[in-house]
């Protein structure tokens, strides 16, 4: 199976100053649940997928095409692997950025074996011409291949083996409607709650042979941005810390390790904090437009929108308004700042109005 799909530029490692190494990726692979039963949380999505897969098995056909949408690290790649594994189907992995021409896609599609699961990660980044080819392939298991150039060019129809497309995207809003409509099922993955993250962590600790008490697990769970990938990475840092200092991986070790890596009490990392500081101190709490924000912190606006913002919204530090992103009172409190009156607001105390 090909590696490195998790390592594209959107899946930035938010907790680790060093980029994900081979060892990190191998570690991640080893911890991936292999069945729906092992997959923690996302109860709704799991139930929906289970039904879809079981129905397909009963009818002896390939399952409908599936779109998995959500921020990085919530389990999209893992679920794609599970879809293949549960049905005993072979899996082919590719990604949007690797499909820059219709020909790239034609080569993949024409070599699929019957029943194969085709996973296309970051599907919103696929070339337009390939997207159009995919419409027909998804609907009729057929593509038209252009042979020759210029006036003599002809299109030759080619039948494909029936397959299941599993697409993953961090930006479902960027998918053209005709593509979105051709998926039989779209799963929106949500951030995990702390109880679910504790399950992810205790499973990982068990697999690593690491003794971590409940209090320590809870502390990590509360500081991993609702994201299993980050939970597992932090657990590794805690293990390192305990090892180097020759001590137990208890709650003190967790706090010391996470402080060392700049993960604060809410789980905000450096980029989250840079974004919040910008909104609060440079723009007086907002509203700030996405692009302005991206330029101010020196990041791609895509990263801010797909990675940073969903979490900050989810924990109630910012809200999205038509005019831009606005800090909430909780944000001012978290950063220990006095809230500034929004522009044009009354400066008189309410009682005097
Ligand atoms: N529901 C889950 N239960 C247990 N571990 C999970 C779950 N979701 C994700 N993980 C862990 O998080 C890591 C990242 O998941 P991945 O599927 O690569 O996320 P995505 O593709 O959405 O970025 C995996 O290695 C896996 O160990
Ligand atoms: Mg992935």
Question: What is residue 14's predicted lDDT score, i.e. its pLDDT?
Answer: 42
Rounded distance from Cα 35 to ligand 1 centre (Å)? 12
> Does 1.10.340.30 match the CATH number of domain 270-352?
no
Question: Is residue 314 annotated as part of the catalytic site, yes or no?
Answer: no
Mutate to test the pocket of ligand 1, among 29, 31, 32 (most ligand atoms within 8 A of CB): 32
Please report the pLDDT score of residue 261 as a whole number: 87
Residue closest to 203 by CA, chosen among 238, 232, 242: 232
Residue 7's pLDDT band, with cuts at 50, 70 and 90, is very low
Question: Where does residue 85 rank: exposed (0-12), middle (13-18), buried (19+ CB within 10 A)?
Answer: middle
CA distance linking residue 36 with residue 49, whole number of Å: 9
**Closest Cα to atom 1 of ligand 1:** 40
For the structural domain made of 194-260, what CATH number should be given? 1.10.8.60
Q: Using the CB atoms, write b or e for 235-249: b if 16+ within 10 Å.
A: bbbbbebbeeeeeeb
Is 8's C-beta closer than 6 angstroms to any atom of ligand 1?
no
Q: Is the Cβ atom of 122 under 6 angstroms away from ligand 1? A: no
pLDDT tens for residues 32-56? 999 999 999 999 999 999 999 999 9
Q: Which of 62, 164, 169, 170 is catalytic?
A: 170
186 lines ligand 1 (CB under 6 A): no
pLDDT of residue 350: 41
Q: Which residues are annotated as a binding site for Mg(2+)?
A: 77
What's the pLDDT band for 341 if we cut at 50, 70, 90? low
Ligand 1 pocket residue status of 11, Cβ below 6 Å: yes
Instruction: Give me the residues paired with residue 165 across strands.
Output: 118
| Residue 254 near ligand 1, beta carbon < 6 Å | no
| pLDDT tens, residue by residue, 273-286 | 999 999 999 999 98
Which residues does residue 67 pair with via DSSP β-bridges, in sequence order? 167, 186
Q: Which two tokens stand for residue 250?
A: 């208890």
- What are 156-175's pLDDT values in tens digits? 899 999 999 999 999 888 89
For residue 76, indicate whether it is catalytic.
Answer: yes
Q: Which ligand is nearest to the CA of 73?
A: 1
- HSE-up of residue 320 (Cα within 13 Å, Cβ side): 10
Which amino acid residue places its CA nearest to atom 17 of ligand 1?
A: 75
Reply yes or no on whether 149 is catalytic.
Answer: no
pLDDT average, residue stretch 307-317: 93
Q: What was the pLDDT predicted at 30?
A: 81
Highest mean pLDDT among 153-157, 163-167, 212-216, 289-293: 163-167
Cα 253 to Cα 223: distance, rounded to the nearest angstrom: 14
How far away, in angstroms, is 147 Cα from ligand 2 center?
A: 35
Active site residue 229: yes
Q: Where are the domains of the chain?
A: 32-188, 194-260, 270-352
Q: Report yes or no: 250 and 257 within 8 Å, Cβ to Cβ.
A: no
The residue from 11, 121, 269, 272 that is catalytic is 121
Categorize the per-residue pLDDT at 145 as very low, low, confident or very high, splitting at 50, 70 and 90: confident
pLDDT value for 353: 36
φ, ψ of residue 318 in degrees (nearest 5): -135, 160
Q: Higher confidence at residue 139 or residue 27?
A: 139
CA–CA distance, 238 with 216 (Å, rounded to integer): 10
Average pLDDT of the segment spanning 315-321: 94
* pLDDT of residue 348 exceeding 60: no
Kindly state if the Cβ of 31 falls inside 6 Å of ligand 1: yes
Mutate-to-test residue for ligand 1 from 47, 78, 121, highest number of ligand atoms within 8 A of CB = 78
Pick the catalytic residue from 46, 125, 225, 229: 229
CA dihedral sign of residues 45, 122, 228, 308: negative
- Give the DSSP letter of residue 191: P
Structure tokens at 349: 């105390």
Right CATH number for 32-188 from 3.40.30.10, 3.40.50.300, 3.30.1490.20, 3.30.365.10?
3.40.50.300
The CA-based dihedral angle spanning residues 202, 191, 184, 39, taken in that order and rounded to the nearest 10 degrees: 0
The secondary structure of residue 342, as a DSSP letter, is P
- Total number of residues shown for the chain: 353
Which segment, 109-123, 145-159, 252-266, 325-339, is predicted with the most confidence on average?
109-123
Q: How far is CA 181 from CA 61, 65, 172, 176, 185, in A?
A: 20, 10, 12, 9, 9
**What average pLDDT does the segment 329-353 reach?**
64
pLDDT for residue 16: 45
CA–centroid distance, 83 to ligand 1, in Å, is 14
């Amino acid at each position: 199976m090909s590696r490195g799909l998790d390592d594209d530029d959107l899946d930035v490692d938010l907790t680790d100053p060093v980029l994900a190494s081979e060892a990190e990726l191998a570690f991640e692979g080893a911890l991936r649940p292999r069945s729906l039963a092992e997959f923690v949380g996302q109860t709704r999505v799991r139930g929906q997928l289970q039904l879809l897969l079981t129905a397909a098995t009963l009818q002896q056909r390939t399952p409908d095409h599936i779109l998995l949408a959500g921020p990085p690290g919530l389990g999209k790649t893992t679920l794609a692997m599970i879809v293949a594994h549960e049905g005993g189907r072979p899996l082919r992995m590719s990604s949007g950025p690797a499909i820059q021409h219709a020909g790239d896609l034609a080569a993949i599609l024409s070599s699929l074996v019957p029943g194969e699961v085709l996973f296309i990660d970051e599907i919103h980044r696929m070339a337009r011409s390939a997207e159009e080819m995919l419409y027909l392939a998804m609907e009729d298991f057929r593509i038209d291949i252009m042979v020759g150039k210029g006036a003599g060019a002809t299109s030759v129809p080619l039948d494909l083996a029936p397959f299941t497309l599993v697409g993953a995207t961090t930006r479902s809003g960027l998918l053209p409607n005709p593509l979105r409509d051709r998926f039989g099922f779209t799963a929106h993955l949500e951030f995990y709650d702390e109880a679910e993250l504790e399950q992810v962590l205790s499973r990982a600790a068990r697999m690593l042979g690491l003794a971590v008490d409940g209090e320590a697990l809870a502390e990590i769970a509360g500081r991993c941005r609702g994201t299993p990938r980050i939970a597992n990475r932090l657990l590794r840092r805690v293990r390192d810390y305990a090892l180097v200092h020759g001590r137990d991986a208890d709650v003190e070790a967790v706090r010391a390790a996470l402080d060392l890596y700049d993960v604060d009490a809410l789980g905000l990392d450096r980029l989250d904090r840079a974004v919040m500081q910008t909104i609060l101190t440079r723009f007086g709490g907002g509203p700030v437009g996405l692009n302005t924000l991206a330029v101010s912190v020196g990041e791609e606006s895509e990263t801010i929108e797909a990675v940073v913002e969903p979490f900050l919204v989810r924990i109630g530090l910012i809200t999205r308004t038509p005019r831009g992103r606005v800090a909430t009172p909780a944000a001012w409190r978290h950063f220990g700042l006095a809230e500034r009156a929004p522009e044009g607001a009354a400066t008189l105390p309410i009682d005097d109005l």
